[in-house]
Amino acid sequence: MTSKIALLLCVLSAAGLLGGCASGGFIGPQPIVTDPMDASNVTLYRDGSWVGLFGAIRVRLDGSDLMRLWRNQSFSFRLDPGQHILDYSIGINECRRAILIDPGQSYRFRLVPNCTIWEYLQ
């Protein structure tokens, strides 16, 4: 009987853990765009890498909390041109990079838990 209870507890714990993985997205206000005609589209995404499997990447932009990204998630927002500081962390890894946004462009940044940021101009 105790093995059935232990199995049930394991299944419920796993379900709770996996259910928590579905919650990601914006945790702070999106950046305020001052000139919509010059603003650029920015997409941040995290691939399906097994590194950091059970943790979300916490993203900050210019010192403010922006979003959490779980595996295979992406979110987009508009951003004024200029230099911005993009930093993110997962576990003990803390990553930071200055990004230069040109007017009216579309950018896609792939965030990797080992602090590699891949930039794609679309």
Domain that includes residue 63, residue range: 24-121
Question: What pLDDT, in 10s, does the model give residues 75-116?
Answer: 999 999 999 999 999 888 899 999 999 999 999 999 887 787
- In the chain, the amino acid numbered 89 is S
47 lies in some domain: yes
Return the pLDDT at 4. Answer: 46
Rounded to two decimals, what is the model's pTM?
Answer: 0.75
The number of folded domains in the chain is: 1
Tell me, yes or no, whether 9 lies in a domain.
no
Rounded Cα gap, residues 10 and 6, in angstroms: 6
Q: What is the pLDDT of residues 21-51, one digit of tens each?
A: 457 888 988 899 999 999 999 999 988 877 7
- The more confident residue out of 65 and 120 is 65
The pLDDT assigned to 121 comes to 66
Q: Is the pLDDT of residue 63 over 50?
A: yes
Q: Residues 99, 84: contact at Cβ < 8 Å?
A: yes
Is residue 8 in a domain? no
Write the CATH number for 98.
Answer: 2.60.40.10
**String of b and e for 73-90 (b: at least 16 CB within 10 Å)?**
bbbebebbbeebebbbbb
Residue 68 domain flag: yes
